[in-house]
Structures are given as C-alpha cells and as structure tokens.
Chain A
C-alpha cells in the first residue's frame, strides 16, 4: 500500500471515529475536565487497552511489519522540558476543547472556530521552531 494513500485512508477512519464518538465536541472534552462527562475517558482508556493488546499480538507475528523489515517502535525520550510542555499543551486542551487530531474533525464537520484553533496550532508550532533556534535542547 502506498504510504501517502494509506495514511489518507487511515486518516479518514480516524477522523470518522473521532467525530462519531463525540471527541470533536467542545462539551465532551471540557466536560471531562470539569468532571461532568467521562465519555472521552472511556474512549481513551479503551483505545489504550486495544492498542496495547494489538501491539502484543503484532509482536507475536512471524512478520510484524508487512514489508518484512524489523518492527521499530518509536520512543519519545524524556526531556527536562517534557513536563512544562505537557502543561502548556494541557492549558490549550482545556481552553479550546480540542487537540491536534480532533480539531481536524471539527473543521471537517464545519465548525468555524475550529479553524482558529487549527491556525493557532500552526502558529504555536512555528513559535517552537523559532525558540528551538536559540534553545536546541527544547
């Protein structure tokens, strides 16, 4: 399968699932943070369990990767900035009621303010790129 087309197809599936389960709803994300609605906690916990079991099954395969190359699980190393970075991300999550994936589903659904969250995310990533020029270990 061509990687670009494959990711386009899996992206459609991902966006469809996010939208159907309500992850693109401001009320469900913010509702989780203020203790009113735990639907998305259920979604995330289920996804983590299914993902973890799926990875264990995959590792039992004679050929875990279709092409035959060895499975290479990407690991994000722990940096001194991981915790402040996590907090900053969380602040944005609680304000917008969206994250980098769900905002895309919001845009597809026609939510205008999702476009502003999206534009802010691109700009925030740009700020990171500028900061990293001066602070290479960021």
Chain B
C-alpha cells in the first residue's frame, strides 16, 4: 500500500506539510472565525499550573481556564503521538538530535538548557504578540506588517543563538 506508507510511515516532502498547515488558516476561519495560533494557549496553561489567578492579564484574558486553546494544545500533542505510533517511531527518548549527540552533557544540564530556551520562547512570544503559527504563518498569509516584522526578528534571533550554540557547545561541527 504505497499511498498509506507515504502518509503514515515515510517522512513527508516539505510541500505536503506546508499545504496541510497552510490550509488550517482558512479552515479555522471558516468553521470558527478564529485565527490559527498556539502560543496564546500557554496563558491557559499558566492559569492551570501556576499560582497566577490574581494577575490582571490572566484574569481578563483567560476567564475560561479550559478554553478551546487548551484543546488545540492537547490535539497537537496527540497528533505527534499518532505520527510516532503509525510510523513505528514511538519511544521515550532522551535524544534531541545533534545537540545531545555532540554536546554529550549530563541530563540535568540538558534539561536546564532546554528550560532556559523555553523561557525565552514563552516570554518572547507574548511580548511579540504571537509565535511561528500566529505571526509567521497566519499573520504573513494575511499580509500583516507586524507579523512580517516579528518573523524577521524571530529568524535573526534564531540565527544568532543557533550559531553561538554551534560554536560553543557543538565544536563548530555540523
């Protein structure tokens, strides 16, 4: 079954992923009049996991704790799980590509490294008003200036730290 294998087992070509992800933008407007976006839902997670109920921003913006944004987040996790199950790649792993392969750090340091990077992602997304899905895909597809500008600086930031990490911790290899 070539077609099933192409969908569920083999990695997709870039355009296949691009088409599905791009179609989400008009589809979410058609069904729910809602913009594609993931990072705003992390505010719901703050309300769920951290003592933040009295913070003004959480109170006003996240009146409903378990809103559709939480369901979207759960769905994306399940999508990754489904992909791993169907392609036979499911398994709990402490690998993170060439980073864990080359840097060879103890697990605790790796955890701190990714946690600190995560803080920058969460903080930056809120200050910039969106992330790769909300700004870079949804926003640029709608030709929003703020999204084009934000995306340019997302990329500049990524180039800076990825190259620093590469030369400091990955020995410039790769």
Binding site for B on A (CB under 8 A): 1, 3-27, 29-30, 32-34, 36, 39-40, 42-52, 54-55, 57-58, 61, 64-67, 69, 71-79, 81-114, 116-130, 132-133, 138
Contacts and interface: CB of A to CB of B under 8 A. Distances in A.
Nearest to A14: B76
15 contacts: A4-B68, A4-B71, A12-B78, A15-B81, A30-B98, A45-B18, A58-B26, A93-B132, A97-B162, A100-B131, A109-B89, A111-B96, A112-B94, A116-B111, A125-B125
B131 A129 contact: no
A26 B96 contact: yes
Contacts of B106: none
A104 to B, nearest CB: 4
A23 to B, nearest CB: 7
Interface string B87-101: 101111111111110
B118 A92 contact: yes
A95 B117 contact: yes
Interface string B116-128: 1111111111111
Contact of B157 (A45, A52, A87, A128): A87
A85 B156 CA distance: 12
Say whether chain A's binding surface is mostly helix, strand, loop, or mixed. Answer: helix
A102 B132 CA distance: 10
Contacts of A76: 129-130, 134-135, 139, 144, 146-147, 150
A114 B84 CA distance: 15
A55 B141 contact: yes
Given A43-B21, A89-B125, A127-B122, A111 B115 contact: no
B141 A89 contact: no
Given A99-B131, A105-B80, A120-B119, A14 B49 contact: no
A122 B132 contact: no
A14 B23 CA distance: 10
B124 A89 contact: yes
